[in-house]
Amino acid sequence: MAHCWCGSGLPYEDCHKKSDLRLEALHKKGERVPPKTLVKNAAQIEGIRRASKINSLVLDAVAEKIRVGMTTGEIDRIVDRTTRALGGIPAPLNYEGFPKSVCTSVNDVVCHGIPSDGVVLKEGDIVNVDCTTIVDGFYGDASRMFTFGPLSPAAEKLVRVTKESVEIAVEHLYPCCHLGDVGFYIDRHARKNGFSVVREIGGHGCGLKMHEEPYVCHIGKKGKGMVLVPGMIFTIEPMINEGSPLFTVDKTDGWQVRTIDGGLSAQVEHMILITEEGYEILSA
């Protein structure tokens, strides 16, 4: 009995045969199907699940200690120290030149905020902490919003709607739904509440690398785009802006993305596995 093409060491019939037949049938119907390499095997999923669990524990450690008066540099040290204590490696550190172990995006920073001892958290701030962890070569990825009251009504609403948009999109995931569904539900909820969604930066496949295909745009058309099949793992991480969806990239560091109009931006990221029954949130 031949081993599966994916390298799992299992017989093809016990590994990817069912998935391959499903993809072939969908392709014949004219659907856009994912490459076979985007469908993880059982061993890979288990490794990714372990990395994702540790990633969530790192974010839990941040949640326990984050406070007004703390610098974002301190958050970086908490993440680095906790990740290594749990047997992981902080994936952002030195990734394409990124200088820190986590991204901390405060107020008008859309994403890729660089932690600094010069940035002190104060009342009224909103901050996204985006954490990615490597464990035994597998990746877990998620981000959370933290707020420091009292918030302005606009800030409170923005953070709440961003969380709701992710929850709504996740609730509509099921085997063989479409990638466009994710963007459709997020964009609809954001616009209904008077906010805008960043189109050019989005979610992505994850697990064996920090960034894999497919690109997950948070604006989309229902029933359109790639079919999402069991075994696929990706992030849903909309960046939702108070005002314009346009942004600028800091020319001095080449990383920090800010809203073009100085308005607030919020982001929440879940890492998702599509299963035969529906979905599993791996890290959040």
The arithmetic mean of pLDDT across residues 246-260, rounded, is: 98
| pLDDT tens digits, 96-137 | 999 999 999 999 999 999 999 999 999 999 999 999 999 999
Q: Fold for 36-283, please state it.
A: Creatine Amidinohydrolase (3.90.230)
Asked if residue 195 has pLDDT above 80, the reply is yes
> What's the pLDDT at 22?
84
The arithmetic mean of pLDDT across residues 18-26, rounded, is: 85
pLDDT band per the 50, 70, 90 thresholds, residue 26: confident
pLDDT band per the 50, 70, 90 thresholds, residue 24: confident
| pLDDT tens digits, 56-85 | 999 999 999 999 999 999 999 999 999 999
Total-model pTM: 0.94
Average pLDDT, the chain: 96
Residue ranges covered by each domain of the chain: 36-283
| pLDDT tens digits, 179-190 | 999 999 999 999
The arithmetic mean of pLDDT across residues 257-272, rounded, is: 98
pLDDT band per the 50, 70, 90 thresholds, residue 254: very high
pLDDT band per the 50, 70, 90 thresholds, residue 14: confident
Contact indicator for 261, 244 with CB cutoff of 8 Å: yes
What are phi and psi for residue 100, nearest 5 degrees?
-130, 175
% of the chain beyond a pLDDT of 90: 88
The arithmetic mean of pLDDT across residues 194-216, rounded, is: 98
**DSSP strands (E only) in the chain:** 89-90, 103-106, 109-111, 126-135, 138-147, 177-178, 196-197, 203-205, 212-216, 227-228, 233-236, 239-241, 247-249, 257-259, 265-267, 270-274, 279-283
> What's the pLDDT at 1?
66
| Contacts with 249 (C-beta within 8 Å, 6 or more apart), sequence order | 255, 256, 257, 258
> What's the pLDDT at 242?
98
